[in-house]
Amino acid sequence: MRTAFFALAFAALAAATPTSTPKRRSLALSPAGTSTPPSKDAFYDAPSGFQRAANGHVFKARPVWTPFDSEASAAYQVLYKTTLATGGDAVTAATLFAPLEPVSPPRIMVLAAPIDSACRDCEVTFVLHNGSKSNATDFLLKSVAIDIFAGLHKGWYVAVPDHEGPNAAYIAGVQEAFGVIDGLRAMLNFPNILPKTDDYKAVIHGYSGGAHASAWANQFLPTYGSELNVVAAAYGGTPVSVSFDGLASISGGGSFLFWGALVGLSNAYPELDHFIRHQLFPNGTEAFEAARSLCNTQLGEYLGDKSLVSFFRNGAKTFTFSTALKYSKLGQLGEPVKKDISPAATTDGIVRRPTLMYHSSTDDIVPYAPVPAYVESQCKQGAKILFETAPGLTHTTAAIMWTADAYNFLESAFDGKLKLDKCQQKTGITTELGTDDFVAAIGQSAWNLIQSQMQSAS
């Protein structure tokens, strides 16, 4: 269902993008059209001495053509300074977009994409430019396209970071948080896209794997991003609990997400990597490497209906060993993260920005069950969360149905009109799909894309 949805949407995206030359006259350089993947592209390499730079410092930049040219006055890839989950210095990339008609003072959306892969060549900056031969394209591009069009339409600057960092640390929440937060700093540090930062406001947005990164960034803002003016966050289909226990029972369908997560966490934490490698049968080692070289759905095909737990010498018992438990614990959103495991910054696990969370109670991919308890626990600790739920939607459909609510929420935060003094819960979606209000909330290009995707999927 999910694969088909995004594959069919590809044609829709092409159709929604005008062929006229974009308004990008101010660029001196001609945009790069490289189809060289990040692992072979020197642009992604850290320059010497990068360790001395401040987080978010931009080392390199190049203009790129993207499928969003019709709604952007410019788009650049930048390479910026960030921090590894284990505390070391690192660089990662982001694609930064300037809208045709920027709102003043500037409004910035950091869009965390559902990269959902532990392979470096599946990261989102590579996907987002014309001529990219990324294997992730069919899946990832479609899911971010609606948001990029919507954000640009509203006159917002949009930053889409490779938040998994240089090691493709998928589901490593600490790494994702640093990648997202430094992605915002990179935008603030890059005048070619954002000429003046005075009185800027920023928001964070993402769905599914992108919601995971957004939620982790949200809870790390008070420490790792304390100087940043982030006024709200909106995310849905959020994985609030990622534990290895699930691996024992998973096969088929979404197994690539679990396998990718285990490999992504191992990419972030050498101790876990070492532990896992010693636990695997040769077929497990092969599958481990596959997750590092294949994008999400490709990995799904590779895994087929193989039993993931049969890759391990100790079977399900593997996940009861102390190293496994240590990192499994790190998969719980809202739990404090201390200095021993995250030396660069800690978190008490509480979000302190007004936040919209949305999740269908019948989500078929990311479990709904742990979400209400997470929200309740946050609210008890003083978080301000608007939690919207509705029955009857799949994971993919819910992303579409809540689009207008998400943008209305973020816009009222930008406008300073958000009334969320304490937590609120709501059943149902406020702005219904296809109404004039829905289209107005996201703009015509995003709406065209949704319409074609729905036609293709039905």
Ligand X SMILES: *[C@@H]1O[C@H](CO)[C@@H](O)[C@H](O)[C@H]1NC(C)=O
As measured in angstroms, the least distance from the Cβ of 18 to ligand X is 6
- Which one among 77, 92, 125, 134 touches ligand X, defined by CB under 6 A? 134
Give the Cα separation of 25 and 395 in Å (integer). Answer: 40
Asked if residue 65 binds ligand X (CB under 6 A), the reply is: yes
- Which one among 4, 14, 15, 54 touches ligand X, defined by CB under 6 A? 14
Q: Which is nearer to ligand X, 16 or 204 (CB)?
A: 16
**Residue 346: Cβ within 10 Å count:** 18
Asked if residue 69 binds ligand X (CB under 6 A), the reply is: yes
CB burial readout 59-94, b (16+ within 10 A) else e: bbbebbbbbbbbbbbbbbbbbbbbbbbbeeebbbbb
As measured in angstroms, the least distance from the Cβ of 194 to ligand X is 22
Asked if residue 135 binds ligand X (CB under 6 A), the reply is: yes
Asked if residue 17 binds ligand X (CB under 6 A), the reply is: yes
Reduced to 3 states, what is the DSSP secondary structure of residue 49? coil
Asked if residue 229 binds ligand X (CB under 6 A), the reply is: no
Asked if residue 321 binds ligand X (CB under 6 A), the reply is: no
- In sequence order, which ranges of 356-415 are alpha helices (DSSP H)? 370-380, 395-401, 403-414
Token reading at 373? 């308890």
∠ CA(139), CA(140), CA(142), 5° rounding?
Answer: 80
As measured in angstroms, the least distance from the Cβ of 429 to ligand X is 30
Reduced to 3 states, what is the DSSP secondary structure of residue 431? coil
Token reading at 146? 């609606």
Q: Which backbone phi and psi does 433 adopt, to 5 degrees? A: -50, 130
As measured in angstroms, the least distance from the Cβ of 132 to ligand X is 8
- Which one among 3, 130, 377, 430 touches ligand X, defined by CB under 6 A? 130
Which part of the chain contacts ligand X (CB under 6 A), choosing from 62-70, 109-117, 148-156, 215-223?
62-70
The four Cα atoms 248, 250, 251, 254 give a dihedral, to 10 degrees, of -150
Q: Describe the crossing of helices 270-279 and 255-268 by its angle, rounded to 10 degrees.
A: 130
What are the beta bridge partners of residue 452?
Answer: none
Asked if residue 251 binds ligand X (CB under 6 A), the reply is: no
Q: Which is nearer to ligand X, 136 or 418 (CB)?
A: 136
C-beta of residue 108 within 8 angstroms of C-beta of residue 159:
yes
Q: Which is nearer to ligand X, 305 or 436 (CB)?
A: 305
- Determine which helix (DSSP H) or strand (DSSP E) holds 111, and give its type and residue range: strand 107-112
Asked if residue 19 binds ligand X (CB under 6 A), the reply is: yes
As measured in angstroms, the least distance from the Cβ of 413 to ligand X is 31
**Residue 283: Cβ within 10 Å count:** 11
Q: Which is nearer to ligand X, 42 or 417 (CB)?
A: 42
**Residue 334: Cβ within 10 Å count:** 21
As measured in angstroms, the least distance from the Cβ of 131 to ligand X is 7
Q: Which is nearer to ligand X, 17 or 296 (CB)?
A: 17
DSSP-assigned letter for residue 166: T
Which part of the chain contacts ligand X (CB under 6 A), choosing from 41-49, 131-139, 155-163, 183-191?
131-139
Asked if residue 133 binds ligand X (CB under 6 A), the reply is: yes
Interface size with ligand X, residues (CB under 6 A): 19
As measured in angstroms, the least distance from the Cβ of 121 to ligand X is 4
Site residues (CB under 6 A) for ligand X, limited to 258-317: 281, 283, 294, 306-307, 310-311
C-beta of residue 361 within 8 angstroms of C-beta of residue 330:
no
Reduced to 3 states, what is the DSSP secondary structure of residue 132? coil
Asked if residue 377 binds ligand X (CB under 6 A), the reply is: no
> What are the counts of helices (DSSP H) followed by strands (DSSP E) for the chain?
16, 10
Q: Which is nearer to ligand X, 131 or 428 (CB)?
A: 131
Asked if residue 77 binds ligand X (CB under 6 A), the reply is: no
As measured in angstroms, the least distance from the Cβ of 311 to ligand X is 6
Which part of the chain contacts ligand X (CB under 6 A), choosing from 12-20, 96-104, 265-273, 376-384?
12-20
Site residues (CB under 6 A) for ligand X, limited to 381-440: none
Tell me the one-letter amino acid at 234. A
Nearby residues of 426 by Cβ (< 8 Å), 6 or more positions away? 386, 387, 388, 389
- Which one among 2, 78, 96, 121 touches ligand X, defined by CB under 6 A? 121
Q: Which has the closest alpha carbon to 273: 258, 256, 293, 288?
A: 288
Site residues (CB under 6 A) for ligand X, limited to 36-55: 37
Asked if residue 161 binds ligand X (CB under 6 A), the reply is: no
**Residue 428: Cβ within 10 Å count:** 10
As measured in angstroms, the least distance from the Cβ of 145 to ligand X is 10
As measured in angstroms, the least distance from the Cβ of 363 to ligand X is 27
Token reading at 440? 């107005």
C-beta of residue 67 within 8 angstroms of C-beta of residue 59:
no
Give the Cα separation of 24 and 232 in Å (integer). Answer: 30
Binding-site ranges for ligand X (CB under 6 A): 14, 17, 19, 37, 65, 67, 69, 121, 130, 133-135, 281, 283, 294, 306-307, 310-311
